[in-house]
Amino acid sequence: MLLIFLVVVAIAIIRMKNLFAVVMLTGIYGLLSASFLVVMDAVDVAFTEAAVGAGISTLLMLVVISMTGHRERTTRHKPLLALLVVTITGGLLIYGTLDMPYFGSADAPIHNHVASRYINDSMQEIGVPNIVTSVLASYRAFDTFGEVVVIFTAGIGVLALLSIAHRPEDGDKTGSFNDSLNEQHLIVRIVSKILIPFILLFALYVQFHGDYGPGGGFQAGVIFASAIILYSMLFGLNIARKVINQPFIQFISAIGVLLYGSVGLASILSGGNFFDYNVLSNDHITGQHLGILLIELGVGCTVASVMIIIFFNFAGRREMQQKNEREHNKNQELS
């Protein structure tokens, strides 16, 4: 049933021209997907998809369309080429599904080979109830390391493309401008001042509780970043920058990656392979717990800081564009 809703939303995305509505629909798509994922028993994934697909992704797109325009042009070229590609690809995929094990069947190959050891033995080998965390943080820790590096790369890429050097005197001028605007949002400001500490606390809870329930470094990082982003949206980018400045946040993102990698190096120095947590302590369960704790911390640091870097850079670019427009209009009036 949920899937039918997804299809409806997707088709609506195709047909609508107002980009604001389209971005909102994309957010809805993400949320519906997250709900579907919960029904599929993928709670960690649903958590992440909700935070990312319905949260961060929608937010970034809104910031961008505020800079690039709200409407799409009518000309939709190459529909025939697109239909051709889509029909061939879709047809091939459906052809491929004909031999697949039926949905939900318990004797499919994937449930009997690698996965059974994870389910049956992970308690003795790692001692963590959330199997997804034990696979992510221990068995396949290196993939997660790659994932942290991916998000780090995206942060650096956004830095490379959008960052502008800040001059302090601009900050003070635009600060007062922002304050006058934001006084209109008095209720939101007061409510968020109450909520933000709880959001931060929730982020910490998710970070450390990831072993026992859905959660972990990535989700925690996104929630932590959302609190900071909420603060900066309501109180102005400049004040937020005074609290968390650019060099500091870049440093934290680098530290996250290095922390993760150092756990691996520590394993090598203690005699095991890279990311072998068993050698980190005398008792292998303690070693596993220690390793998982540290790397999740690394993930949380990097993810939170990269999300903040990305948002600050997008918002900062927008501020620059607005300032240039104001100066341009002023010059036009003068001449």
Partner 1 sequence: MIAHLPVLQVILPLMAAPICLMLKRAQLAWLFSLIVSGLAFGVSILLLQQVMTSGVISYELGGWEAPWGIEYRIDKLNAFVLLIITAISTTVLFSAQASIAKEIVTSKHTVFYTLYLLSLTGMLGIVVTGDAFNVFVFLEISSLSAYALIAMGNDRRALWASYQYLIMGTIGATFILIGIGLMYQMTGTLNMEDLSQRLPEVAQTRTVFTAFVFIIVGVCLKLALFPLHLWLPNAYAYAPSIVTAFFAATATKVAIYLLIRFTFSVFGFSFSFTIIPLQTMFMALGLVGIFIASTSAIYQSNIKLLFAYSSIAQIGYMVVGFSINTVAGLTATLLHLFNHALMKSAIFLALAAAMYRLGNVQLNNFHGLGRQMPLTMAAIVVGGLSLIGVPLTVGFVSKWYLLTALLEQGWWPVAILILLGSILTVIYVWRLVEVAYFKEPLANKAPVKEAPLYFLIPIWTLIIANIYFGIDTRLSVQGAQMAAMSLFGVTP
Partner 2 sequence: MLMGLFNYWIVVVLMMIGLYIVIAHGNLIKKIIGLTTFQTSVFIFYISMAKVDGGTAPILADDIIQYSNPLPHVLILTAIVVGIATTAMALSLVVRIKEAYGSIEEEEIQQQDNQIQEDEKNGRQA
Footprint of partner 1 on residues 205-224 (CB under 8 A)?
A: none
Site for partner 2 in 24-43 (CB under 8 A): 26, 29-30, 33, 36-37, 40-43
Rg of the chain taking only CA atoms, in angstroms:
24
> What CA–CA distance (Å, rounded) separates 151 from 252?
13
CB of 244 to partner 2, least distance (A): 18
Q: Is 61 in the site for partner 2 (CB under 8 A)?
A: yes
**Count of residues of this chain found to bind partner 2 when the rule CB under 8 A is applied:** 100
Q: Is 312 in the site for partner 2 (CB under 8 A)?
A: no
CB of 256 to partner 2, least distance (A): 13
Q: Which of partner 2, partner 1, none does residue 198 bind to, with CB < 5 to 8 Å depending on kind?
A: none
Containing 185, the helix (H) or strand (E) segment is none
φ and ψ of 74, to 5 deg: -75, -35
CB of 270 to partner 1, least distance (A): 11
3-state secondary structure of 182: helix
Among 103, 168, 172, 282, which residue interacts with partner 2 (rule: CB under 8 A)? 103
> What CA–CA distance (Å, rounded) separates 243 from 238?
9
Q: Is 254 in the site for partner 2 (CB under 8 A)?
A: no
Site string for partner 1, 233-272 (x = CB under 8 A): -----------------xx-xxx-xx--x--xx-xx---x
Among 24, 52, 200, 255, which residue interacts with partner 2 (rule: CB under 8 A)? 52
8 A C-beta contact, residue 63 and residue 314: yes
Q: Is 285 in the site for partner 2 (CB under 8 A)?
A: no
Q: Which is nearer to partner 1, 133 or 233 (CB)?
A: 133
Compute the half-sphere exposure of residue 59: CA atoms within 13 Å on the CB side of its CA.
20
Structure tokens at 104: 């939900």
Which is it for the CA torsion 236, 238, 241, 242, positive or negative? negative
Q: What one-character DSSP code corresponds to residue 108?
A: S
Structure tokens at 274: 């890279």
Cα distances (Å, whole numbers) of residue 51 to 165, 219, 220, 225 = 30, 7, 10, 11
Contact footprint for partner 1 (CB under 8 A): 92-93, 95-101, 108-115, 117-118, 138-143, 146-147, 149-150, 152-154, 156-157, 159-161, 163, 165, 250-251, 253-255, 257-258, 261, 264-265, 267-268, 272-279
